[in-house]
């Protein structure tokens, strides 16, 4: 009978120490695993940012932060993609050839993107660093031309950009919106800040 009590005591002791060890292991593992995520300082210095784009509906914009700047991810509707054509003569730099913000080769096209459906751009006006407002609805509106196709308006000084972030001529902003380096990890995830597989 005393043998059973000893076994029961050992079993209780083993369970208690195993549980304490598991809790201690988790307490050590959580900070260790967390250390792999980029710190706020690393993000500000330019660490890449992974973004899930699966929830963005056509016609919507998602804003994320990269290097302390707002980066817009716009899922353009088929109509918005079609509206990017036919107004190159109104744009200051339709094919993004200027070098103030070097545009990645894969974004030197009409849509300024890898996939025409998605625009990825830094949401800071190239004039004085203001943040333009989204004006996605086409047609006449205050401060916009009557043939507006949709895009962005910088309320500070009136610069206008199309839905590819290309600046219109004769506006204070000297250049298009910056396209950051980015690449698709899958159909639903992109990484901003990297454009070449490691």
The residues annotated as belonging to the active site are 157
Residue 22: its H or E element: helix 2-34
Yes or no: say if 96 and 112 are a contact pair by the CB < 8 Å rule.
Answer: yes
- Alpha carbons 124 and 62: distance in angstroms, whole number: 15
Three-state helix/strand/coil letters over 99-130: CCCCCCHHHCCCCCCCCCCEEEEECCCCCCCC
For residues 72-103, one letter each, b for 16 or more C-beta atoms within 10 angstroms of the residue's C-beta and e for the rest, the string is: bbbbbbeebbebbeeeeebbbbbebeeeebeb
- Alpha carbons 88 and 80: distance in angstroms, whole number: 15
Measured CA angle at 153 (ends 98, 68), to 5 deg: 70
Q: Is 130 exposed, middle or buried (0-12, 13-18, 19+ CB in 10 A)?
A: middle
């Amino acid at each position: 009978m005393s043998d059973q009590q000893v076994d029961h005591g050992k079993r209780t002791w083993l369970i208690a120490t195993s549980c304490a060890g598991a809790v201690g292991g988790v307490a050590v593992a959580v900070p260790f695993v967390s250390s792999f995520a980029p710190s706020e300082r690393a993000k500000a210095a330019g660490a890449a940012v992974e973004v899930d784009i699966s929830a963005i509906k056509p016609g919507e914009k998602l804003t994320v932060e990269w290097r302390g700047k707002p980066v817009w991810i716009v899922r353009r509707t088929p109509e918005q993609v079609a509206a990017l054509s036919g107004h190159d003569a109104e744009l200051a730099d339709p094919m993004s050839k200027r070098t103030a913000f070097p545009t990645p080769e894969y974004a030197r096209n009409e849509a300024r993107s890898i996939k025409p459906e998605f625009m990825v751009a830094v949401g800071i006006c190239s004039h004085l660093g203001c943040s333009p407002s989204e004006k996605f609805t086409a047609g006449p509106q205050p401060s916009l031309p009557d043939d507006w196709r949709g895009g962005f308006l910088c309320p500070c000084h009136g610069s206008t950009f199309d839905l590819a972030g290309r600046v219109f001529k004769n506006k204070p902003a000297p250049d298009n919106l910056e396209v950051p380096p980015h690449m698709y990890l899958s159909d639903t995830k992109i990484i901003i800040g990297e454009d070449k597989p490691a």
